[in-house]
Chains A and B, each alone.
Chain A
Amino acid sequence: MFDLTDFPILTILMILPLLGAAVILMIKHQDDAIKNTNIRRVALLTTMATFVLSLLLWIGFDNSTADFQFVESYAWVGQDIKYYVGIDGISLLFVLLTTFLMPIVILSSWESIDKRVAEYMVAFLVLETLMIGVFSALDIFLFYVYFEGGLIPMFLLIGVWGGLRRVYASFKFFLYTLLGSVLMLVAVLYMYIETGTTEIPALMEHNFDPGVQTWLWLAFFASFAVKMPMWPVHTWLPDAHVQAPTGGSVILAGVLLKMGGYGFLRFSLPMFPDASIVFADMVLALSIIAIIYTSFVALVQTDIKKLIAYSSVAHMGFVTIGIFVFNTNGIEGAIFTMLSHGIVSAALFLCVGVVYDRMHTREIARYGGLVSNMKLYAVTFVILSLASIGLPGTGGFIGEVLVLVGAYQYSSWVAFGASFGVILGAAYMLYLVRRIVFGELDKDDVKAMTDLNLREKIIFAPLVAMTLWMGIYPNSFLEPMRTSVANLISSDFSSISEQAKAQPKADAGGH
């Protein structure tokens, strides 16, 4: 294909949004309407350009190797800490997910954000740079900088453009995540001193003493479990989701939640394999509790966004189960679930945004019977809900099946517990669909609502298409990660996966 070896594509991907932000800051015009339109256009163009450029990563990616690709490395702080970026099969798709969602986010905020437009767009563009950075950093210090730096724009996005209780939600979001990540910082300091390097590939090779691993694993767990979020430290998420503006919820659900799962795969598993095995049962137990408990909580929600937020926690429970069963199906399923959840839950939050823009309420009881007057919307909403439930033919199904197969290989009890999530997921999502989309169209303000406009159609078309693509031909997404996942398992968890191989090999991918 293309020879991209010397082209600093990842750095350019990170610089582009910043350039866009700089341009936006320079836009001046007496007429606010013209100014804001120009700002939105620049933001959209920037994110589109970033997305197109990021496709080169996918095209030029070599599926056959587990090594890091598109690597750039420059000396930065002192002798040891480097600006060192690159991607492998695990991080490639997360970078693409980020760049894919960003233009959609900008489009979704086209009309709903009318105050401080420039600041809003700048915050999002800076956030995009930081998110790409998190997924492509190969230096643990650089990773930490991006990981924590992302708090600032998100804090402002929730706090300035959020709902009524935005201050409470933004503080909770910031302080919860910060507390988790400072514990990680202590671990990072220790690892740097112990090994004399901050390069992630070198740290993966290093064999930490099992006793030390326990503590380091717990410190990283504190950070990633909060970010994930896992039960019982998930409580910031419903608040943040409910109060954040639509665009903020989309990025939060679509990308920021994936940082926790990515962190487990990039740090906890390869660097502390012994501790991961020791703590696996605890993580699995927490995940099963999360799936069952948050599903029940979702069932009784009266706020649409809160319901979807709790469903996110339940889906993330699947992800942690997939990761901590240490076999190919589980981990591939976990990554796939993260990707499909990134698309589906982002789209569901956009669906909420559509009706919220028209009615300015998220109360489920205020809606009903939308199928009669918003036909296209109803179709979209139903498809996405079914994808969230995991109906065959949608992305959600593949991820859940792979995770369940992986879980079954590890222990049938884990699979048994996780299966409740599928049933309960169907319960709360279908119940939501019934109350919003179906039923009697008897409320006057609901009757007055109009169907999707052109901008909204453009937003939903790629999301629905992606969901179906992931469900119908998942190998497009599983191929790039296969070698990296296999390498992760064979180098650190071969004993456990051999145990799994003894059982009949289940081939679940790609039906």
Chain B
Amino acid sequence: MNGELPNLTLVLPEIFLAVSAMLLLLFGVFQGEKSAERVSNLSVMVLIATAVLMLNSFGGERDVTFNGMFITDAFAVFVKMMVLAASAIALLISGKFLRDHKIARFEFPVLVLLATLGMFVMISANNLMSLYIGLELQSLSLYVLASMNRDRTRSSEAGLKYFVLGALSSGMLLYGVSMIYGFAGTTDFDLLQKTLRGAEGPHIGIVVGMVFLMVGLAFKVSAVPFHMWTPDVYEGSPTPVTAFFAAAPKVAALALMVRVLVGAFPGLIAEWQQVIIFISVASMLVGAFIALVQTNIKRLMAYSSIGHVGFALVGLATGTQAGIEALLIYIAIYITMTLGTFAAILTMRRGEGYVENIDDLAGLSTNNLPMAVAIAIFMFSLAGIPMLAGFWGKWYVFLEAVNVGLWPLALIGLITSVVSAYYYLRIIKIMFFDDAAEVFDGNHGRGVSLVVGVTAIVNSPVSYFLLIAPLVTAAHWAASSLLF
């Protein structure tokens, strides 16, 4: 092992992504500011190439490299595919917006690529150290992205807020890691799993360390009570960046949470299950009730995403393979709903620029019926009305919750979904019942239209055949690769 080169074929997608990001950075530097669009297009191609490379090289068998620091398995492949799709879509819908705000710099796609790389490392982390490296690479890229629009106070504020609170959470996470290392003597997930499965109860220090670790991760997925940053950052960041925040990093952080809790601490399930149940219920409640009074659609989506993380965590709270499967299905559906909604928000554009208030959607159904129908599909889907994609996510999550006897969780979840239905309906009401406001200029770029169209079809009542049926198979394949 000493001096030997680790097996690099397993990290080929990551290496490709890193090298491409740096090459694109060089390319941008030499070409100057005007290369932004080209770099962005090339980045999308890099993401697609990474997906092809990844699917070609792995059949989903479990394999570790770098002395067990890095793991590839079906779970990693599945989640990485979601991250790639989310990043590519975020890049697709960003071009026009960035150009309009004169922030179309080549650094933007490069930062997205680097953040994606960070997420890849997080997803494949099999050691608390690689976990931290991935998390920081991702977070640092995201801090910069949040403050992309640096001439606007809101954007700088978002970046700063995200950075300060993110640093705090990283600190807590590191403190937890150090306690775990101190009491267990290892940071390797496989070893932790073996030693903690012993007959005698775990040392209290490990439990405390694990809770700190969970606090850090809960911050990243913006679960209540560590969600305070989310509405401000979502509102202040440029809209395509918000779309990116709401999708890819959430997926990666949820996957990481699953990896840590199921991969390293299955022996402590009694301890972490109660924590997850609490933050899940709290997230569902906050996501439903606080969103009721929002007037800015980006803030509304921030609370909506908090609520959806709560629903997804119900799957983790069950602690079973079917529960993880349901969580994976849920977040995959959540990505399509949320990216579609943000793409639709990017069409809210008038002569004077982009608008963000819910009331600006007034009477959209008379101005632009297809767009109003698409947004209505997203809203009903987010509310979880049957046959739309969002319903299936809730169905699988709560099915497993009831199966393991956590039916109160299902009950609370469904009742909060009725509460949240109110604000989704309010958007539909504004679009369909109210008198028409000024027309949107429709000059939002082809990428946005494409994303809205595709995600709306995927979420529509035919979603079962297009999205859910293949997703269930894939999620089953992915979840079965975790050690139970």
Q: A186: CB under 8 A from chain B?
A: yes
Query: Measured between C-beta atoms, what is the minimum distance from B400 to chain A in Å?
Result: 9
Whether the pair B417, A182 counts as a contact (CB closer than 8 A) is yes
Of the candidates B410, B421, B432, the one whose C-beta lies within 8 Å of that of A178 is B421
Whether the pair B386, A193 counts as a contact (CB closer than 8 A) is no
A159 to B365, CA, bound (A): 13
Q: Which residues of chain B have C-beta atoms less than 8 A from A78's C-beta?
A: 472
Of the candidates B399, B432, B461, the one whose C-beta lies within 8 Å of that of A192 is B399
Q: Which residues of chain A have C-beta atoms less than 8 A from B429's C-beta?
A: 159, 167, 170-171
Q: A144: CB under 8 A from chain B?
A: yes
A170 to B366, CA, bound (A): 19
Q: Which residues of chain A have C-beta atoms less than 8 A from B366's C-beta?
A: 116
Q: Which residues of chain A have C-beta atoms less than 8 A from B385's C-beta?
A: 148-149, 151-152
Q: Indicate with 1 or 0, residue by residue over A135-165, a CB within 8 angstroms of chain B CB atoms.
A: 0000000001100110110011001100000
Query: Measured between C-beta atoms, what is the minimum distance from B71 to chain A in Å?
Result: 30
Of the candidates B402, B425, B469, the one whose C-beta lies within 8 Å of that of A174 is B425
Whether the pair B402, A152 counts as a contact (CB closer than 8 A) is no
Whether the pair A145, B418 counts as a contact (CB closer than 8 A) is no
Q: List 26 A-B contacts (CB under 8 A).
A: A78-B472, A119-B365, A144-B386, A148-B386, A152-B380, A156-B432, A159-B433, A160-B432, A167-B429, A170-B429, A170-B433, A171-B429, A174-B425, A175-B418, A175-B421, A175-B422, A182-B414, A182-B417, A183-B411, A185-B414, A186-B407, A189-B399, A189-B402, A192-B399, A193-B402, A193-B403
Query: Measured between C-beta atoms, what is the minimum distance from A141 to chain B in Å?
Result: 8
Q: Which residues of chain A have C-beta atoms less than 8 A from B414's C-beta?
A: 182-183, 185-186
Known: A185-B398, A190-B402; 19 extra A-B contacts, CB below 8 A, are: A77-B469, A145-B387, A148-B386, A155-B425, A155-B428, A156-B432, A159-B429, A159-B432, A159-B433, A167-B433, A171-B422, A175-B418, A175-B422, A179-B415, A182-B415, A182-B417, A189-B407, A190-B407, A192-B399
Name the interface residues of A165-220: CB closer than 8 Å to any CB of B: 166-167, 170-171, 174-175, 178-179, 182-183, 185-186, 189-190, 192-193
Name the interface residues of B407-427: CB closer than 8 Å to any CB of A: 407, 410-411, 414-415, 417-418, 421-422, 425
Whether the pair B421, A174 counts as a contact (CB closer than 8 A) is yes
Query: Measured between C-beta atoms, what is the minimum distance from B205 to chain A in Å?
Result: 38
Interface centre among A166, A170, A185 (most CB of B within 10 A): A185
Query: Measured between C-beta atoms, what is the minimum distance from B401 to chain A in Å?
Result: 8
Whether the pair B411, A178 counts as a contact (CB closer than 8 A) is no
Q: Which residues of chain B have C-beta atoms less than 8 A from A192's C-beta?
A: 399
Q: Which residues of A contact B (CB under 8 A)?
A: 77-78, 116, 119, 144-145, 148-149, 151-152, 155-156, 159-160, 166-167, 170-171, 174-175, 178-179, 182-183, 185-186, 189-190, 192-193
A160 to B430, CA, bound (A): 10
Q: Indicate with 1 or 0, residue by residue over B350-379, a CB within 8 angstroms of chain A CB atoms.
A: 000000000000000110010000000000
A242 to B418, CA, bound (A): 24
Q: Which residues of chain B have C-beta atoms less than 8 A from A167's C-beta?
A: 429, 433
A156 to B417, CA, bound (A): 20
Interface centre among A144, A171, A174 (most CB of B within 10 A): A174
Q: Which residues of chain B have C-beta atoms less than 8 A from A183's C-beta?
A: 411, 414
Query: Measured between C-beta atoms, what is the minimum distance from A84 to chain B in Å?
Result: 16
Query: Measured between C-beta atoms, what is the minimum distance from B328 to chain A in Å?
Result: 16
Q: Which residues of chain B have C-beta atoms less than 8 A from A179's C-beta?
A: 415, 418
Interface size on B, residues (CB 8 A): 29
A174 to B410, CA, bound (A): 21
A267 to B248, CA, bound (A): 43
Query: Measured between C-beta atoms, what is the minimum distance from B15 to chain A in Å?
Result: 39
| Given A156-B432, A171-B425, CB of A145 within 8 Å of CB of B386 | yes
Query: Measured between C-beta atoms, what is the minimum distance from B284 to chain A in Å?
Result: 13
A215 to B5, CA, bound (A): 62
Whether the pair A178, B418 counts as a contact (CB closer than 8 A) is yes
Q: Which residues of chain B have C-beta atoms less than 8 A from A160's C-beta?
A: 365, 432-433
Name the interface residues of B425-484: CB closer than 8 Å to any CB of A: 425, 428-429, 432-433, 461, 464, 469, 472
Query: Measured between C-beta atoms, what is the minimum distance from B38 to chain A in Å?
Result: 40
Query: Measured between C-beta atoms, what is the minimum distance from A491 to chain B in Å?
Result: 28
Query: Measured between C-beta atoms, what is the minimum distance from B3 to chain A in Å?
Result: 52
Whether the pair A149, B418 counts as a contact (CB closer than 8 A) is no
Q: Which residues of chain B have C-beta atoms less than 8 A from A77's C-beta?
A: 464, 469
A60 to B464, CA, bound (A): 33
Query: Measured between C-beta atoms, what is the minimum distance from B472 to chain A in Å?
Result: 7
Query: Measured between C-beta atoms, what is the minimum distance from B365 to chain A in Å?
Result: 8
A149 to B429, CA, bound (A): 17
A77 to B407, CA, bound (A): 22
Q: Which residues of chain A have C-beta atoms less than 8 A from B464's C-beta?
A: 77
Interface centre among B365, B398, B403, B414 (most CB of A within 10 A): B414
Query: Measured between C-beta atoms, what is the minimum distance from A168 to chain B in Å?
Result: 10
Interface centre among B366, B386, B407, B414 (most CB of A within 10 A): B386
Closest B residue to A159 by beta carbon equals B433
Q: Which residues of chain A have C-beta atoms less than 8 A from B422's C-beta?
A: 171, 175
Whether the pair A193, B399 counts as a contact (CB closer than 8 A) is yes
A149 to B391, CA, bound (A): 11
| Given A155-B425, A174-B425, A178-B421, CB of A186 within 8 Å of CB of B386 | no
Q: Which residues of chain B have C-beta atoms less than 8 A from A145's C-beta?
A: 386-387
A189 to B407, CA, bound (A): 9
A209 to B179, CA, bound (A): 49
Closest A residue to B404 by beta carbon equals A193
Query: Measured between C-beta atoms, what is the minimum distance from A11 to chain B in Å?
Result: 16
Query: Measured between C-beta atoms, what is the minimum distance from B103 to chain A in Å?
Result: 39
A160 to B418, CA, bound (A): 22
Query: Measured between C-beta atoms, what is the minimum distance from B412 to chain A in Å?
Result: 10
Q: Which residues of chain A have C-beta atoms less than 8 A from B461's C-beta?
A: 149
A152 to B424, CA, bound (A): 12
Interface centre among A116, A152, A156, A170 (most CB of B within 10 A): A152
Closest A residue to B414 by beta carbon equals A182
Interface centre among A78, A166, A183, A193 (most CB of B within 10 A): A193
Whether the pair A186, B410 counts as a contact (CB closer than 8 A) is yes
| Given A78-B472, A189-B398, CB of A182 within 8 Å of CB of B418 | yes
Whether the pair B432, A186 counts as a contact (CB closer than 8 A) is no
Q: Which residues of chain A have C-beta atoms less than 8 A from B418's C-beta?
A: 175, 178-179, 182
A144 to B433, CA, bound (A): 27
Query: Measured between C-beta atoms, what is the minimum distance from A148 to chain B in Å?
Result: 5
Closest B residue to A219 by beta carbon equals B411
